[in-house]
């Protein structure tokens, strides 16, 4: 006989299916499923009621149903665009093949498809940009945080600057970053678009602070006992950092990284909107400028998707944290 084992969170559903619910399992079911669903349902209801009462110059504010329809149409548009692209490539292949038959010496020219990016293309662009910006920020913040944490001189020297730049809004950095990128990044054959670099640097500038601060605090708070162990073992500076300091600081570091990624995502949308860089922010701005009767619904889809992706990014960091950090009690929800 085969015995199926269920993960613990599935236990109430199994009990429900077999009709053997205990009081605790009812509690669990309420907490896991029923209360959240009720919460969402209430929100949708309120949204619908409120939306009916708001008239804008672009028509009535979209309710949940309109937004759902717009989400469907965005998917359709994406599929249509992909179909068009496939058709274009097919036409091109045919044309090149037939011309080569007539003129075998002709050098074929392949052109790429130049349709407007769809909603899903914009999501992809945003994700790539946010991850690049976040990785760049981490690559700067973690080593710098370690140095600041280890040396009180470095801390004294850099702390005023950190305090000064930490609260700066992305919108203030953006014009500067744009101008600097335009001035410095001059090539005939660009590897990546300028707009990508502008967004990426803005994101990095804004999101490196939590990682920097948390890493340095984590490094400073290595327990004196462990430092003594390291001294008795005569670990050299490098091993001391690798074997004692880094693992000690890892839980704090991850807390910082999670905060940073959250900020990175928020900053990115704002930066894309303002700078007209490709991505979800631009999608929102374009729809706003477009001003058709569907625009508000489409923006609302973007809002929900932005929230959903932000949530998923945070979950991703949480999983990574759970997998890598030894101190499980430091991993919050």
Partner 1 sequence: MKALLELSNVGMKFDTPKGQFEALKDVNLKIESGEFVSLIGHSGCGKSTVLNIVAGLLQATDGGVILDKHEVTEPGPERAVVFQNHSLLPWLTAFENVELAVKQVFKKTKSKTEIRDWVEHNLELVHMAHAMHKKPDEISGGMKQRVGIARALAMQPQVLLMDEPFGALDALTRAHLQDSLMEIHAQLGTTVIMITHDVDEAVLLSDRIVMMTNGPSATIGEILDVDIPRPRDRLALADDATFVRCRQQVLQFLYEKQRKVEPMPKRNSENAEAARKRA
Q: Which residues bind partner 1 (CB under 8 A)?
A: 223, 225-226, 228-229, 231-235, 239, 243-244, 247, 250, 326-327
Q: For residues 240 and 229, what is the distance between their CA atoms, to the nearest angstrom?
A: 10
Q: Which is nearer to partner 1, 168 or 229 (CB)?
A: 229
Between 54 and 231, name the residue whose CB sits nearer to partner 1.
231
| Rg for the chain, CA atoms, rounded | 26
Residue 326, C-beta contacts closer than 8 angstroms, at least 6 positions apart = 247, 250, 251
Select 52 or 228, whichever has its Cβ closest to partner 1: 228
Residue 171 C-beta: closest distance to partner 1, Å? 41
Spell out a b/e string for 42-69, using b for 16 or more CB atoms within 10 Å of the CB, else e. eeeeebeeebeeeeeebeebbbeebbee
With respect to partner 1, which residue has the nearer C-beta, 247 or 310?
A: 247
Question: In the 8-state DSSP scheme, what is residue 105?
Answer: T
- Nearer Cβ to partner 1 (50/231): 231
Minimum distance of partner 1 from residue 263's CB (angstroms): 28
Shortest separation between residue 247's beta carbon and partner 1, angstroms: 5
Is 60 in a helix, a strand, or coil? strand
Q: Which is nearer to partner 1, 234 or 333 (CB)?
A: 234
Instruction: Give the three-state DSSP class for 206.
Output: helix
Residue 84 or 242 having the CB closest to partner 1: 242
Other C-beta atoms within 10 Å of 155: how many? 15
Q: Do 280 and 123 touch, CB atoms closer than 8 A?
A: yes
Closest approach, Cβ 221 to partner 1, in A, equals: 14
Task: Please state the closest distance from residue 243 (CB atom) to partner 1, in A.
Answer: 6
Q: C-alpha 139: how far from its chain's center?
A: 17
**In this complex, which beta carbon is closest to partner 1, that of residue 244 or of residue 302?**
244
DSSP 68-97: HHHHHHHHHHHHHHHHHHHHHHHHHHHHHH
How far apart (Å, rounded) are the C-alpha atoms in residues 37 and 113? 43
Residue 326 C-beta: closest distance to partner 1, Å? 4
Q: Is 59 helix (H, G, I), strand (E, B) or coil?
A: strand
Min separation Cβ 311 and partner 1, Å? 29
- Could you give the C-alpha distances from 149 to 76, 285, 328, in angstroms and in order? 52, 42, 23
Query: Least distance (Å) from partner 1 to the CB of residue 46?
Result: 46
């Amino acid at each position: 006989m085969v015995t199926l084992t269920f993960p613990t969170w599935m236990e109430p559903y199994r009990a429900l299916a077999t009709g053997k619910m205990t009081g605790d399992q009812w509690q669990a079911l309420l907490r896991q499923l029923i209360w959240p669903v009720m919460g969402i349902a209430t929100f949708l209801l309120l949204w619908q009621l409120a939306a009916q009462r708001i008239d804008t110059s672009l028509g009535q504010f979209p309710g949940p149903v309109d937004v759902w329809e717009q989400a469907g149409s965005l998917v359709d548009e994406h599929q249509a665009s992909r179909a068009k692209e496939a058709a274009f490539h097919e036409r091109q292949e045919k044309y090149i093949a037939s011309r080569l038959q007539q003129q075998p010496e002709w050098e074929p020219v392949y052109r790429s498809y130049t349709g407007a990016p769809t909603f899903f293309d914009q999501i992809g662009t945003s994700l790539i940009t946010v991850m690049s910006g976040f990785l760049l920020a981490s690559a700067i913040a973690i080593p710098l945080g370690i140095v600041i944490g280890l040396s009180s001189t470095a801390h004294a020297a850099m702390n005023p600057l950190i305090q000064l730049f930490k609260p700066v809004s992305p919108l203030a950095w953006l014009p500067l970053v744009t101008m600097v990128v335009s001035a410095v990044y001059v090539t005939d054959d660009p590897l990546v678009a300028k707009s990508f670099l502008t967004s990426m640097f803005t994101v990095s500038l804004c999101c490196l602070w939590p990682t920097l601060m948390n890493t340095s605090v984590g490094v400073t708070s290595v327990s004196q006992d462990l430092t003594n162990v390291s001294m008795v073992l005569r670990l050299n500076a490098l091993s001391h950092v690798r074997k004692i300091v880094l693992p000690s600081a890892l839980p704090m570091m991850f807390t910082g990284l999670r905060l940073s990624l959250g900020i990175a995502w928020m900053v990115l949308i704002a930066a894309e909107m303002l700078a007209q860089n490709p991505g979800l922010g631009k999608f929102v701005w374009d729809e706003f400028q477009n001003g058709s009767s569907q625009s508000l619904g489409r923006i609302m889809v973007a809002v929900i998707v932005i929230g959903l992706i932000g949530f998923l990014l945070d979950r991703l960091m949480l999983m990574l944290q759970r997998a890598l950090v030894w101190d499980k009690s430091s991993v919050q929800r």
